[in-house]
Amino acid sequence: MSIHSSPAVRQNSTFVPETAFGVWFLRTHTWEHHVLRVAIDDLKRLIDAPLPPQPVIVDAGCGQGISFKLLARAFAPSRIVGIDCHRPSLALAAQAGQGLDVDIEVMHGDCAALPLPDASADIVFCHQTFHHLVEQERALDAFWRVLKPGGLLLFAESTDAYIKSWVIRLLFRHPMQVQKSADGYLAMLRARGFVFAESNVSLPYLWWSRAKDFGLLERLGLHHPKPGKRRETLVNVAARKPV
């Protein structure tokens, strides 16, 4: 295993930085166990074709690297490249990669201008990063560019229904003008050329994503909103770049 740090190729980030509370939250057990682990397990379930052996994974917006061990366990990659524009988080990500049986490289960079060669990744993993990005279309262009033909975009996002809730506005920071519904994100992926079927899409309705009551009414048996009759709070997609 090797851990490297590379300079950004672009100085002006298009990423809205997280609050101090948000940075702290991203290293909690709740984040790792109830958010990140659940998303990776769900995304793996949505993949309907064999992956190449020992894939190269780009973790776009890797934060503090909590995902590295989970990605290594789920996909047995030969290499993980974690990219983030928040240098203090990258220092923690480098530490998180130590001891894993996989080559880990952390790079300071912008998702809208990934500092990677064309067609260099088998998988781009983008988990709860996109709603921080001001230039979302440019980020998708960058994901497309670095993916090999037939490569996989594992995309997990919170929707505008969640990001614009009062508790998230209070505790975190996001560019509100670019937030989208689940259908909006799916349309954006398709417009860029990514392909996926209904079986490659999941709309989790997890307790932590329901900022109004955090699922309390449902746990009490008083309310059980069904798909199509609720505002979706999360969307997970396993989308491919065509060969």
CB within 8 Å of 92: residues ≥ 6 apart: 27, 64, 65
Q: Using the predicted structure, report yes or no on whether residue 179 has a pLDDT greater than 90.
A: no
Give the domain CATH number at 95: 3.40.50.150
In a domain, 22, yes or no: yes
Return the pLDDT at 228: 63
Return the pLDDT at 209: 58
In a domain, 3, yes or no: no
Q: Using the predicted structure, report yes or no on whether residue 165 has a pLDDT greater than 80.
A: no
Q: Which pLDDT band holds residue 8 (cuts at 50, 70, 90)?
A: very low
What is the chain's mean pLDDT, rounded?
86
In a domain, 4, yes or no: no
User: How confident is the model over 23-47, as a mean pLDDT?
Assistant: 91
Give the angle subtended at the CA of 82 by the CAs of 165 and 133, to the nearest 5°. Answer: 35
The more confidently predicted of residues 37 and 214 is 37
- Bridge partners for 80 per DSSP: 57, 104
Its pTM stands at: 0.85
In a domain, 32, yes or no: yes
Return the pLDDT at 167: 73
In a domain, 124, yes or no: yes
Return the pLDDT at 3: 46
Q: Which pLDDT band holds residue 132 (cuts at 50, 70, 90)?
A: confident
Find where tokens 């505008």 sit: 160
HEC letters along the chain: CCCCEECCCCCCCCECCCCHHHHHHCCCHHHHHHHHHHHHHHHHHHCCCCCCCCCEEEEECCCCCCHHHHHHHHHCCCEEEEEECCHHHHHHHHHHCCCCCCEEEEEECECCECCCCCCCEEEEEEECCHHHECCHHHHHHHHHHHEEEEEEEEEEEECHHHHCCHHHHHHCCCCHHHCCCHHHHHHHHHHHCCECCHHHEECCCCHHHCCCCCCHHHHCCCCCCCCCCCCCCEEEEEEECCC
Which range has the worst mean pLDDT, 36-40, 111-115, 213-217, 238-242?
A: 213-217
Q: Which pLDDT band holds residue 11 (cuts at 50, 70, 90)?
A: very low
In a domain, 168, yes or no: yes
Return the pLDDT at 218: 58
Domain enclosing residue 176, as ranges: 14-240
Return the pLDDT at 224: 59
User: How confident is the model over 168-192, as a mean pLDDT?
Assistant: 86
Q: Per-residue pLDDT tens for 73-109?
A: 999 999 999 999 889 999 999 999 898 999 999 999 9
- Give the count of domains, the chain: 1
In a domain, 189, yes or no: yes
Q: Using the predicted structure, report yes or no on whether residue 1 has a pLDDT greater than 80.
A: no
Share of the chain above pLDDT 90, in %: 58
Return the pLDDT at 222: 54
In a domain, 7, yes or no: no
Return the pLDDT at 161: 82
Cα 118 from Cα 145, distance rounded (Å): 5
Q: Which pLDDT band holds residue 140 (cuts at 50, 70, 90)?
A: very high
Q: Which pLDDT band holds residue 217 (cuts at 50, 70, 90)?
A: low
Return the pLDDT at 156: 96
